[in-house]
Amino acid sequence: MNYLKYLCWALLLAFVTSCSKDDIIPEEGETDPPQGGGDQTLSAVLPKKELRGVWMTTVWGIDWPMGEYSAVAQKKLYTDYLDLLADYNMNAVFFQIRSMADAFYESQYEPWSKYITGNAGTKPTYDVLKFLIEEAHKRGIQFHAWLNPYRIATRASKTASFPQLDAKIPAELVKDYEKIRVYNPALPEVQTRIADIVKEIITKYDVDGIHMDDYFYPSLEPSETMNDAAEYQQYGKDAFKSVEEFRRNNVNSVVRNIQKTIMETRPEVIFSISPAADIERNYNTLFADVKTWAKEGWVDVVIPQLYFATGTEVTSFNLRLDLWSQYTYDNHLLIGYGIYKFGDPQYGSKFQSSDDLKKQFDLAGAKSKVKGSVLYSAKSLLDNKVGISDAVEGIYKQPVLLPYLGRGVAELPATPVNVTLNGSGLSWEAVAGVTRYAIYKDNGKGKEALLVGTTWETSFKLSEKGTYFITSLAKNNAESKVSASVVY
In this model, does residue 29 exceed pLDDT 80? no
Chain centroid to Cα 139, Å, comes to 15
The whole-number pLDDT of residue 320 equals 98
The whole-number pLDDT of residue 65 equals 98
CB-CB contact of 481 with 471 (8 Å):
yes
The whole-number pLDDT of residue 289 equals 98
Average pLDDT, integer, range 80-107:
98
Average pLDDT, integer, range 15-31:
34
CB-CB contact of 242 with 143 (8 Å):
no
Rounded Cα–Cα distance for residues 181 and 176 (Å): 4
User: What amino acid is encoded at 153 in this protein?
Assistant: A
Average pLDDT, integer, range 217-245:
96
In this model, does residue 24 exceed pLDDT 80? no
| 463: confidence class by pLDDT, cuts 50, 70, 90 | very high
**25 vs 350, which has greater pLDDT?**
350
Burial class (CB in 10 A: 0-12, 13-18, 19+), 488: middle
| 206: confidence class by pLDDT, cuts 50, 70, 90 | very high
In this model, does residue 32 exceed pLDDT 90? no
Instruction: Read off the pLDDT of residues 2-21 as tens digits, 9 standing for 90 and up.
Output: 444 444 444 444 433 343 33
Instruction: Read off the pLDDT of residues 147-180 as tens digits, 9 standing for 90 and up.
Output: 999 999 999 999 999 999 999 999 999 999 999 9
Residues paired with 206 in a beta bridge: none
The whole-number pLDDT of residue 55 equals 98
For the chain, how big is the Rg over CA atoms in Å?
Answer: 27
**Percentage with pLDDT > 90 across the chain:** 89
| 43: confidence class by pLDDT, cuts 50, 70, 90 | confident
Rounded Cα–Cα distance for residues 402 and 141 (Å): 9
Rounded Cα–Cα distance for residues 412 and 414 (Å): 7
In this model, does residue 26 exceed pLDDT 90? no
Q: Other C-beta atoms within 10 Å of 2: how many?
A: 6
Rounded Cα–Cα distance for residues 21 and 158 (Å): 78
11-15, 294-298, 443-447: the lowest-pLDDT one: 11-15
The whole-number pLDDT of residue 44 equals 80
Q: Other C-beta atoms within 10 Å of 345: how many?
A: 8
Rounded Cα–Cα distance for residues 376 and 266 (Å): 28
CB-CB contact of 421 with 488 (8 Å):
yes
Q: pTM here?
A: 0.91
Rounded Cα–Cα distance for residues 45 and 244 (Å): 49
CB-CB contact of 437 with 458 (8 Å):
yes
15-19, 250-254, 321-325: the lowest-pLDDT one: 15-19
| 308: confidence class by pLDDT, cuts 50, 70, 90 | very high
Which CB contacts under 8 angstroms, 24+ apart, belong to 239-242? none
Average pLDDT of the residues of the chain = 92
3-class secondary structure per residue, the chain: CHHHHHHHHHHHHHHHHHCCHHHCCCCCCCECCCECCCECCCCCECCCCCEEEEEECCHHHCCCCCCCCCHHHHHHHHHHHHHHHHHCCCCEEEEEEECCCCECCCCCCCCECHHHHCCCCCCCCCCHHHHHHHHHHHCCCEEEEEECCCEEEECCCCCCCCCCCCCCCCHHHEEECCCEEEECCCCHHHHHHHHHHHHHHHHHCCCCEEEECCCCCCCCCCCCCCCCHHHHHHHHCCCCCCHHHHHHHHHHHHHHHHHHHHHHHCCCCEEEECCECCHHHHHHCCCCCHHHHHHHCCCCEECCECCCCCCCCCCCHHHHHHHHHHCCCCCEEEEEECHHHCCCHHHCHHHCCCHHHHHHHHHHHCCCCEEEEEEECHHHHHHCHHHHHHHHHHHCCCCCCCCCCCCCCCCCCCCCCCCEEECCEEECCCCCCCCEEEEEEECCCCCECEEEEEECCCEEECCCCCEEEEEEECCCCCECCCCCCEEC
Indicate the pairing of strand 420-422 with strand 436-442: unpaired
In this model, does residue 25 exceed pLDDT 60? no
Tell me: cis bond preceding 354? Omega within 30 of 0 counts: no
Rounded Cα–Cα distance for residues 257 and 194 (Å): 8
Average pLDDT, integer, range 97-115:
98
Rounded Cα–Cα distance for residues 61 and 313 (Å): 34
Rounded Cα–Cα distance for residues 416 and 120 (Å): 50
Q: What angle do CA 286, 197, 152 make, to 5 degrees?
A: 50
